[in-house]
Every structure is written in structure tokens, then in C-alpha cells.
């Protein structure tokens, strides 16, 4: 199967919520080389791009949809955007749902845009992540 525009609107919820811990935030801040004190300690908030990681369990579900026929090793990340309602902080328990918003085809390449809503487990909005990926179906 391959992805096409009729699949716009399909939604994939992460199987489990993501429990944000302050040590994970610190590890991530260290890994991006950012010494900002806001990312450390008991009241730590997460660096802005931490939000991308929170969508990965929803993305996993999307990639597992056999009808789309997508392979991770054929995907290039083209663009990324975040809108924040509030910062992500230690102690948050976050649910993620990814929805396909656009599918464009150019030969063997499929350009797919999907939006990931990050909310509390009660549904209060935290952030939205919009990703554009290119999937190349051509055999190398």
C-alpha cells in the first residue's frame, strides 16, 4: 500500500502517555549543549525542541499503519514547527496524537505533513508540533 491524499485526516494516538521527568529534561539540555538554568532543578521546564520527542510514540503508530507503507529509513525531515500554549515541565504526563494534514506526491517522493497535538492526559493543550517529511519510495 502507499500513502495518498485520501489518508489526510487519519489520526494516531500514542499508546502510552509520556511522563516528563526532571532528569530527562537535564539529560536533553546537556545533549543539546544548553546550560540554561531554566532546564535544571525541581522547577525545570523543557527546552523548546523537547516537544519533538514527545510526539515519537504517536509517529510510531503512524509508521506502523501498513496502509501507508512508510519506512523510517526512507524518510527525511524537511521542516518542523512548534506552537506552545505553555512550556513542558517536569511532572507533566503528556498525551500525543498525530494527524496527517497534507500528502503531496512528486514522482517517487511523497511529502507528508502531520500535526501532533500534545496535551495533558485530561486534554488540556500544551503544544502543537507540525512536521513535514519526505518519503522516497525509489529503490536506490
Partner 1 sequence: MIEVGTELPPLTVTLRREDLVRYAGASGDFNPIHWSDRMAAALGLPGVIAHGMLTMASAVRVVTDWISDPADLLEYGVRFTKPVVVPDDDKGASVTFSAKVDKVADGRAEIDITAVAGEEKVLGRARAVVRVR
Q: What are the grid coordinates assigned to 34, written together?
A: 544548553
Is residue 77 within 8 Å of 52, Cβ to Cβ? no
Q: Which residue, 1 or 76, is less far from partner 1 as judged by CB?
A: 76
Shortest distance (Å) from residue 127 CB to partner 1: 10
Helix or strand or coil: residue 75?
A: strand
Q: Map grid coordinates 524537511 to a residue.
A: 78
Residues forming contacts to partner 1 in the complex (CB under 8 A) are 27-28, 30-34, 36, 38, 45, 47-49, 52-53, 56, 72-73, 76-84, 86-87, 130, 132, 140
Q: How far apart are CA 14 and CA 129, in angstroms?
A: 14
Q: Which is nearer to partner 1, 67 or 108 (CB)?
A: 108
Nearer to partner 1, 19 or 67 (CB): 19
Amino acid at each position: 500500500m502507499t500513502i495518498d491524499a485520501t489518508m489526510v485526516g487519519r489520526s494516531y494516538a500514542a499508546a502510552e502517555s509520556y511522563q516528563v521527568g526532571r532528569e530527562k529534561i537535564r539529560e536533553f539540555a546537556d545533549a543539546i549543549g544548553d546550560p540554561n538554568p531554566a532546564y535544571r532543578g525541581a522547577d525545570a521546564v523543557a527546552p523548546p525542541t523537547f516537544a519533538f520527542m514527545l510526539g515519537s510514540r504517536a509517529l510510531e503508530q503512524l509508521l506502523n499503519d501498513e496502509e501507508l507503507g512508510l519506512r523510517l529509513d526512507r524518510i527525511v525531515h524537511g521542516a518542523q514547527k512548534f506552537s506552545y500554549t505553555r512550556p513542558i515541565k517536569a511532572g507533566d504526563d503528556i498525551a500525543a496524537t498525530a494527524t496527517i494534514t497534507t500528502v503531496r506526491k512528486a514522482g517517487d517522493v511523497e511529502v507528508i505533513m502531520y500535526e501532533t497535538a500534545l496535551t495533558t492526559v485530561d486534554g488540556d493543550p500544551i503544544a502543537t508540533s507540525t512536521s513535514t517529511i519526505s518519503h522516497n519510495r525509489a529503490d536506490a
